[in-house]
Structure 1
Amino acid sequence: MKILKFGGTSVANSQNILLVENIIKKESLQDRIVVIVSALHGATDQLIKAAEYASAKDESYLQIVKNLEEKHLSLVKDLIPILEQSSWLSFVKKHFNDIEDLYNGIFVLGELTDRIKDKIASYGEFLSSHIIAARLQYQQLDCIWMNSADLIRTDSNFTNAKVNSEITENNIKNYLNDHPNQIIIGPGFIARDDKNNATTLGRGGSDYTASLIAAAIHAEELQIWTDVSGMMTADPRLASNAKPISEISYHEAMELSHFGAKVLYPPSIQPVMVKNIDLKIKNTFDPNAKGTLVSHNLDIPENEKQQVAVGVSNMSNIALLTLEGSGMVGIPGISAKLFQCLSQEKINIILITQGSSEHSITLAIHEKDKSIAESAINSSFADDISLKRIDPVKIESGLSIVAIVGENMKSKSGVSAKMFGCLGNNGINIRTIAQGSSERNISIVISEKDTKKAVNILHEEFFEAEIKQIHLYICGTGNVGSKLIQQIYEQNQYLRENSLINLRIAGLSNSRKMIFSDKGISEQEYLNWHESGVESSPQDFATGIISRNLRNSVFVDITASSDVPEVYEKLLKRSINIVACNKIAASSDFEKYKTLKNTARNHNCKFYFETNVGAGLPVIGTINDLIKSGDKITSIEAVLSGTLNFVFNNYDGSRTFSEVVAQAQEEGYTEPDPRLDLSGTDVARKTLILAREAGYPLQIEEIENIGFLPEACMQGSVGHFYEKLSEYEEHFKALLSDAKQEEKILKYVAEFKEGKAKVGLQHVAPESDLFHLYGKDNIVIFKTLRYSKQPLVIKGAGAGAEVTASGIFADIIRSI
């Protein structure tokens, strides 16, 4: 024999009930079945709400009752044949007249007791089960209506009655023996006490009814039919990649359900769990879906046996209570006293943790109970508080519990490290940790605002190891930025297939507008993103990133703005990785530079700026590797400006210096204002960054900058600059002539030695490593303790949108 239970959404309307009918017909062909149904979706809540209005003398209850009556009458008209409707319409009207009489009494008295509340609540299941039974009977099925309330006997603890198991079991057995019908249908949730008063079984009451019947007759199987295809590895409203769980143990199901998986309520399945009866969770709206089997006897596929966890669960609206004080240490009975005072107020304790010092006890409860709990605890420990042996209870609100659950976690090393590591890498602060001795559950308390992020992080770590989702926020969509975005779109499939990484552009910003998309900005959307963008500033963009609080976030700065680096520290403090092409931050005041580096380190995130020097060349990374391995850089000699190298490689006197600079600008090698490159300021910044990364605390003012441009060229607009270049052509020819006379060439060189740095134009001889440097190439020559005789040389393209974008791309991958 099988027991089938259908929830409120499954019987919400006539269309859904016809689906239920098909399931019942199919199951009854194979076996004799008992069907337990809930009230129509939302009916019980509406019945209680109307009662509360009536007790407050608010006549709004009349409209609620009228709406409910119409809903049930419509159900009769939809499901019962026309010639048979009259008696059933009268049946519904009669019982709603009784309901209205109850409400009128409540209205007059202005009082609503738990006993009356149970009487009112019992009508929902009573009516729905009668109508559905009638429908099945008119379909010529061998069906009988069973009044479950007459069989299930409880105490008089109204709204959450305790079942008398022995009497109830005998009643169920006798009834089913006396009624051999193929289909027996009855209401869930409702029962009676020994005085025949209506009682209800509390939360999950209809599941409990079905479970009690299944346990009483040792049913072959209990089926819970709902609106989802079984239990999921996480709440699908939070984790879009949540997967159905095909099989799960009772203990795992209880753990998941306790911490928020709403498909099951643990106490309601206790009877079938004790009797070792299989439970199936099925979807009324997709009856062919496999669903979830909950059992003690699982046949788990080999590929799933090694899976550590079965699910991630969460519970919102949590408050933490902490009782602490030196007067608690070594004193027996403190915990008992604490639990007793909460028990007297009927406050459920969800989670408990206590340090080995015995100095404090922390409890998690529902937030709605925090005020009552605070008053009860402070009152119970009033004497200790007045003597300052114990502090008044501390309350923290706005929290949630997130838990990972799985039988395979038992004695498995590294599970906690994996859990805490991935959360820490994403800046999620854990307030409290609890793990039972069964080792099936590790629970943490975190801020409510981090719940979605934490669930996704854990789900990805334990259930989606094949693909890691990265959220990119790109600030700067000009020449280099557009090349980077293009590279991301082109390379993403390769990264998914070969590196198990999916890059999602979750936000774009320029100096005017910004746009966000948590699901990612598609290539087509990117082409027209300005049209849908909103007004932007660096602060607005950073605020938007932080408010979205997405896992594995990377902020990419591809600007030359001095305003954008102002948001770096705020982002790093939220454990958002930063990749910067912008040199402003790393070449700013030394203390600010160190603050950013330390903030990244302290918040377990990355701050990479490889493209600050040498575009896509591995210059900064090489310095870091040398330092980490114990080497020390003693000197640096470099050509660091692709722009200046291009200019002096192409200036041979056959064209004016002005024409060569204009060509460099046209080909994208210079800043919009070429003076930023030609003045040596950019080279000085790069030299400063290299020195700092090598461990020397230099400031920009300490770098000697030997300029070659006449002062007049530095005045006015860019147009005026080009005019002055032409006027000073003889000056530039003289610089070139002086180098040729020595059979040397001109190079703009950066030097760092013995803690001092300078940049300027130099005559370079053919035997120098700097001589054979063509086009826009850069070169960096390191001498270190290990590379003292034969220096370490890095050489290659040091400018250009494509290579710079590829360097940024490499930093993004490195930061993951």
Structure 2
Amino acid sequence: MSSNEIADIDFIAEVAAENKLAKHAIQVHKFGGSSLATPKCIKRALEIIRENCQLNDIVVVSANGKTTDRLFALYSLVERTIAEDTIQKSDELTQAIDELAKEQAQLITELLNANNTKQLLLRLHKDIEQLTTWLTADIVQHHNDVLALGEVWSARLLSALLNEQVCPSNSIDSRDFLVIDNEQSCVVDTALSAAQLRQRRQFGKLAVITGYISKDSRGKSCTLGRNGSDYSATIIASLVAAGNVTLWTDVDGIYSADPRVVPSARKLHRLPNGVAKELGRLGNPVLHAKTLLPLINPLSEHHTHLHVASSFDAQVIGTEIGKFGQIAKQELSVTYLNDLLLAQSVSFIGEAATRAKAEFSPICIDDQKGFMVITQGQQKALSDWLASHDVEITFKPVAIIATVGHRVAERGDIRARFKRSLKAAKPLNLVGSDNNHSVIAILPEPCSIELLNTVHHEMTKDARHIGLVVAGMGNIGERFLELLPAQLNKVYALENLHLVGLLSSKKALINNDGIDVNQATSLFAQEAQSYDHEQLISWLTQNPYDELIVVDITPSEDFSLLYEQMFALGVHVIGANKWAASSSTAHYNNLVNTADSHNSLWLGNTTVGAGLPINYAIDDLRQSGDSISELSGIFSGTLSWLFETYDGSSKFSELLLNALAQGITEPDPREDLSGRDVQRKLLILARKAGFELALDDIDCQNLVPEALQALSTSEFLARANELDEYFATALSEANRKGACIRYVARFQHNPETGISAKVSLEVLPQSDAFANLTPCDNIFQISSHWYQDNPLIIRGPGAGRDVTAGGLHSDLVKICQQLAHKQSQVKIKGIN
């Protein structure tokens, strides 16, 4: 066995062991001409292959850069030379061939080692000689052979480079296996093509295959049309039953309109197959009209997904095309085509229209009014076809603009809105496509950029695309993010939600195109950058989303001070942070008023009781017309644990240090024993119940003796035994009464005497609802006009990362449900 063969086997083992992205199903990666235009581009493609491919995958390539355009130009130049018969044109042809050869030679010499450079330059020299012969001898016969050279050179170069730097590879000319009937219909001989491809692929070598070209049953070279390499990739994927096809292009996805001319175009992250196919048919600049055909087989159980991604920024999430649920079906996009013809004839009415449709696959057809829209290139063929039937036809130059989305032709509201947006353009007709995925307007004039932008705005302005920013990457923040992928997949209300921001106190990861929720924590660790609050507010001001939600899981008072600016921007806030909701009365009222005036939603169910629905219960009672007279309970999971566990068998200080070691208390247990946290929670609930009061209005018993309050944490812990006598005495006195001690929060409103509120250590009978809890549980008791004799009680775990993260997700679903029904203000002249 040779050393090269041993190296190949070693590489295969290495790929199998180390390539984390390898999958069992074959993957097809297609690189467009712009992705292979320069040495720098080709090196990027090489890294993408290194990161994303395994040896049984397939790479399909277009010609490098503008090579195919140059080959077309050579062909046109020869035609003019023949027509004009001038020496000058002949010299011009020689110069053009030399320039093309020089470009290809430069790519080879810049990228390959000396040995491979020599071999590929020799092969290039032979190709240029053959090209010259074809162009000067039998140009008509070898038209497609000329055009095929670009892909052949591209595949040969990339394969050689892979062999040098990445893995064993072989280049395959698709004409050696891909057989179609003709260039017009491009029907693939699937069985023969698949069998011949199996023969050409080599075990242990990554196949690099030419796109765009094929052969017919007579062995003659054929092309699949301009931009046909995408079509080649999906054909090849269908031949090998690939699990995924990725089209690596110069754009990072498919947009709701051509982003080059519609600045407000939004990336469509996921598209159903049928919608994507319709977009390609109607002129989307990224999708070839036939690209999706090989992937859509309703009779097959195998489904191949298509991705569109940017080779210039491979880490940015692109567009995925395949079979999806309702989330992807809400997207709308707008596309257009100019330079079309409206053909009118009696042969397009009734049953005769079926034959015409089958023959010419028009852009659209109306078999009631007897017209169809075709490309200008179809005019002669259509005229000849009708002449054979002795039928007259008229042609009129037109353009089309279409709104495209899942079954939009069946939606009266979409059709009506589309028609209104076109009022100034005075369309000739409005036609629904056969598949109902588009509504097409036929225009008497070319579609202008202004009209395209106007229609796009009107059709997409009500789409609720919601950006999500998570502030706080600690224990609960991480758990919230862990739960997010499953929530997005199963909760309908979150269908338009995109994670776009992750914040810690010092670093931020912001991505307007979305952060992969499955890798959020690791991406934050790798890519987060330092930021300040000014930069954050600037981004919030300029964010591209229809709605933005900030989930605040920080304990930071400084971050809570940003709420007013967020509300002024229309940003919605979900807060586990207690600072804002328990701030001074003036500040709190200002926050509520600012949020209301800017239609910002502010939810904070987890500020009290973690995931327990205490805030929801209070809201529901108030909104239903009830009036609350008393709120009480045990609001601290830590103090619940301490006093449910403390029975005198061990000293209180020993129990406290044990709780600290288990993570039950704060790092400084005085935060819990001070009662300040319970005091803030009682204030939040009282305000939620509709009462205006401040923190100072709530009496708070601090369980830490004054002598221990000003010490450092370590000094306090060293002297924790000074707590023992007080609690031992309190417990002993309670035991003598057959009672227990609990730290209780109480708020009461009496119409005659006013408000009283306090948090303190109480002696309670063993029969009291607050006396027998599971350690760490919270309990809330509500007395109201409806619940006077038998108070409403809510009890359960009041702390913990799972329940708190779950409570935050509950708020997230609720806020998204409210936003789904949010309507823009209706402006009617004379009323608004």
Name the TM-score, length of structure 1 as normaliser: 0.51
Q: Which residue of structure 1 lines up, in the alignment, with residue 757 of structure 2?
A: 757
Gap change, CA 1:744 and 1:579, over 3 Å in 2? same
Structure 2 alignment gaps of length 5 or more: 1-31, 38-64, 94-131, 144-182, 184-223, 232-253, 260-265, 285-331, 349-358, 369-400, 431-438, 442-448, 750-754, 817-832
Query: How far 1:587 moved relative to its partner?
Result: 0.7
Which of 515, 524, 529 is the aligned partner of 2:509?
Answer: 515
Deviation at 1:636, TM superposition (A): 1.1
Summarize deviations over 1:258-278 as a string: whole Å, max 9, x none: x9967423xx44x52677999
Q: Per the alignment, in what secondary structure is the counterpart of residue 538 of structure 2?
A: helix
Contact 2:403 2:418 in 1 (8 A): no
Please state if 1:645 is matched with 2:640: yes
Amino acid at match of 2:592: K
Between the aligned partners of 2:419 and 2:587, the Cα distance in structure 1 is 33
Q: Is structure 2 residue 727 aligned with structure 1 residue 732?
A: yes
2:267 paired residue among 239, 247, 257: 239
Cα distance, 1:686 vs structure 2: 0.6
Once the two structures are superposed, the pairs formed by residues 211-230 of structure 1 within 5 Å of their partners are none
Does residue 264 of structure 1 match 2:258?
A: no
Aligned-partner SS, 2:779: strand
What does 1:484-523 correspond to in 2, within 5 Å? 484-489=480-485, 491-492=486-487, 494-495=489-490, 501=495, 504-517=498-511, 518-523=513-518
Distance 1:628 1:807 in 2: 21
The percentage of aligned residue pairs carrying the same residue is 27
The match for 1:600 among 595, 598, 604 is 595
Aligned to 1:693: 688
Q: Give the SS at the match of 1:635.
A: strand
- 1:76 and 1:461 map into 2 onto residues whose CA distance is 49
* Residue of structure 1 in register with 2:605 after alignment: 610
More displaced 10-residue stretch of structure 1: 515-524 or 764-773:
515-524
- Give the distance between the partners of 2:415 and 2:788, measured in 1 at CA: 46
Q: Which amino acid aligns with 1:510?
A: S
- Counterpart contact for 1:778–1:798, Cα < 8 Å: yes
Partner residue in 2 for 1:574: 569
Alignment partners' CA distance in 2, 1:773 and 1:141: 88
SS at structure 1 position matched to 2:562: helix
**Which residue pairs with 1:590 in the alignment?**
585
Q: Secondary structure at the match of 2:708?
A: helix
Matched, 1:559 2:628: no
Please report how far the alpha carbon of residue 597 of structure 1 lies from its aligned counterpart in structure 2 after TM superposition.
Answer: 2.9
Unaligned runs of 5+ residues in structure 1 are 1-8, 15-41, 44-67, 96-130, 143-182, 184-222, 254-258, 279-289, 300-400, 421-431, 463-467
Distance change in 2, residues 1:272/1:141 (3 Å)? farther
Contact 1:233 1:242 in 2 (8 A): no
- 1:272 partner amino acid: L
Structure 1 letter corresponding to 2:767: E
Measure, in 2, the Cα distance between the counterparts of 1:227 and 1:756. 78
* SS state at 1:550 partner: coil
Provide the C-alpha distance between the structure 2 equivalents of 1:650 and 1:671, rounded to a whole number of angstroms.
17
Q: Trace 1:204-353 onto structure 2 (pairs within 5 A).
A: 234-235=256-257, 237=259, 238-240=266-268, 241=270, 244=275, 263-265=336-338, 268-269=339-340, 272=342, 293-297=362-366
CA, structure 1 residues 739+543, in 2 after alignment: closer, same or farther (shift >3 Å)?
Answer: farther
- 1:549 and 2:544 equivalent? yes
472 and 139 in structure 1: CA distance in 2 versus 1, 3 angstrom threshold: same
**Root mean square deviation, CA, Å:** 5.6
Per-residue CA deviation, residues 320-346 of structure 1 (Å, 9 max, x unaligned), is xxxxxxxxxxxxxxxxxxxxxxxxxxx
Distance verdict in 2 for CA 1:628–1:756, change over 3 Å: same
Q: Secondary structure at the match of 1:719?
A: helix
**How much has 1:719 moved relative to structure 2?**
1.2
Letter in 1 for 2:73: L
Distance 2:597 2:416 in 1: 21
Matches of residues 138-157 of structure 1 in structure 2 within 5 Å? 138-140=139-141
Match of 2:699 in 1: 704
Does structure 1 conserve the Cα–Cα contact (< 8 Å) formed by 2:473 and 2:503? yes
Indicate if the aligned counterparts of 1:475 and 1:509 stay in contact, CA closer than 8 A: yes
Q: Alignment partner of 1:138: what SS?
A: coil
Which residue type is aligned with residue 477 of structure 2? G
In 2 relative to 1, CA 247–482 (structure 1 residues): closer, same or farther, beyond 3 Å?
closer
Per-residue deviation, residues 594-630 of structure 1 (Å, max 9, x unmatched)? 3333333333342110011111100001100111111
Q: Per-residue CA shift, 1:328-369, capped at 9, x if unaligned?
A: xxxxxxxxxxxxxxxxxxxxxxxxxxxxxxxxxxxxxxxxxx
Q: Supply the distance in 2 between the matched residues of 1:247 and 1:528 (Cα, whole angstroms).
A: 35
Aligned residues: 501
Counterparts of 1:309-458 in structure 2, within 5 Å, are 412=412
* Aligned partners of 1:239 and 1:459 also within 8 Å: no
Once the two structures are superposed, the pairs formed by residues 156-171 of structure 1 within 5 Å of their partners are none
Contact 2:605 2:616 in 1 (8 A): yes
- Superposition deviation, residue 546 in structure 1: 4.0
Report the AA paired with residue 799 of structure 1: A
Structure 1 residue identity aligned to 2:781:
I
Q: What's the secondary structure of 2:337's corresponding residue?
A: coil
> 2: CA distance between counterparts of 1:594 and 1:418?
43
2-structure distance, mates of 1:744, 1:457: 69
TM-score scaled to structure 2, two decimals?
0.50
Q: Paired residue for 2:768?
A: 768
Answer yes or no: is the 8 Å Cα contact 1:507–1:514 preserved in 2: yes
| 1:519-572 deviation digits (Å, cap 9, x = unpaired) | 323544523632422113444344334433234432111111001112223223
Q: Deviations over 1:232-278 (max 9, x none)?
A: 99326432346757679x9999xxxxx9967423xx44x52677999
CA contact (8 A) 1:229 1:291 kept: no
Contact conserved, 1:707 with 1:761, CA < 8 A, in 2? Answer: no
Q: Hey, what does 1:90 align to over in structure 2?
A: 88
2-structure distance, mates of 1:679, 1:513? 32
User: Structure 2 counterpart of 1:649, which letter?
Assistant: E
**Residue aligned with 1:563, SS:** helix
Q: Structure 1: which amino acid aligns with 2:575?
A: A
2-structure distance, mates of 1:786, 1:140: 92
**In 2, Cα distance between equivalents of 1:727 and 1:719:** 14
What is the rounded CA distance, in whole Å, between the counterparts of 1:234 and 1:505 in structure 2? 20
Distance in structure 2 (CA, Å) of the matches to 1:487 and 1:260: 31
Aligned residue in 2 for 1:807: 807
1:509 Cα shift?
1.5
Indicate the SS of the match to 1:597.
helix
Deviations 1:747-781 (A, max 9, x none): 11111111331111111112221112230111111
- The answer to whether the Cα contact below 8 Å between 2:283 and 2:336 also exists between their aligned partners in 1 is no
Mapped partners of 2:87, 2:487: distance in 1: 63
Asked whether the equivalents of residues 627 and 785 of structure 2 are also in contact (C-alpha less than 8 Å), the reply is: yes
- What displacement does 1:492 show? 3.6
The 1:435/1:624 distance shift into structure 2, 3 A limit, reads farther
